[in-house]
């Protein structure tokens, strides 16, 4: 099995330097006459490339969706799933430590602004508890 990438360019290249990458899981086989053929197993998702780069948040969402889709393909062994994810990440690299830290910081800023506008929000102690919960130190209560 392998990943087939279909690339579509934005209709107005002069305005938008954007391409759309569609990923399909494909297997090769031979038909009854012995001729090689390919069969599409499933659609794994798509991602935009803007100016030669895949935006960080879109890379992460693409990989998460593809992982969930691969879990629904029952004829795949877990080793095959891992191999396919590696193929996907050859084209769409995983987030770096700095990208994750920047995204986390921006999310905190967004939530703080929302809470300031709408009132409320967790206390410092509640925030620390949420962080500990993500580390598996406390049972989830929120």
Domain residue spans of the chain? 2-95, 99-134
Closest CA to 84 of 72, 98, 95, 96: 72
pLDDT at residue 22, as a whole number: 97
CA dihedral 43→44→49→52, nearest 10 degrees, is -110
**Residues forming a β-bridge with 119:** none
Closest CA to 20 of 50, 63, 43, 65: 50
Q: How many CA atoms lie within 13 A of 110 on its CB side?
A: 6
- Sole residue written with tokens 């703080």: 112
- Per-residue pLDDT of the chain in tens (142 residues, 90 and over written 9): 999 999 998 777 666 788 999 999 999 999 999 999 999 999 999 999 998 899 998 999 999 999 999 999 998 999 999 999 999 999 999 999 999 999 888 988 888 888 888 888 888 888 888 888 887 654 545 4
């Amino acid at each position: 099995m392998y990943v087939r990438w279909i690339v579509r360019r934005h209709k107005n290249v002069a305005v938008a330097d954007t391409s759309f990458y569609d990923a399909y899981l494909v297997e090769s086989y031979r038909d009854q006459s012995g001729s090689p053929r390919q069969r599409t197993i499933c659609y794994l998702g798509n991602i935009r490339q803007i100016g030669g780069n895949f935006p960080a948040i879109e890379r992460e969402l693409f990989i998460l969706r593809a992982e969930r889709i691969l879990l629904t393909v029952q004829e795949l062994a877990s080793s095959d799933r891992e191999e396919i994810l590696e193929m996907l990440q050859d084209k769409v690299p995983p987030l770096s430590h700095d990208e994750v830290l920047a995204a986390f910081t921006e999310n905190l800023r967004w939530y703080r602004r929302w809470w300031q506008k709408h009132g409320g929000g967790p206390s410092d102690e509640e925030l620390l508890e949420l962080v500990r919960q993500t580390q598996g130190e406390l049972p989830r209560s929120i």
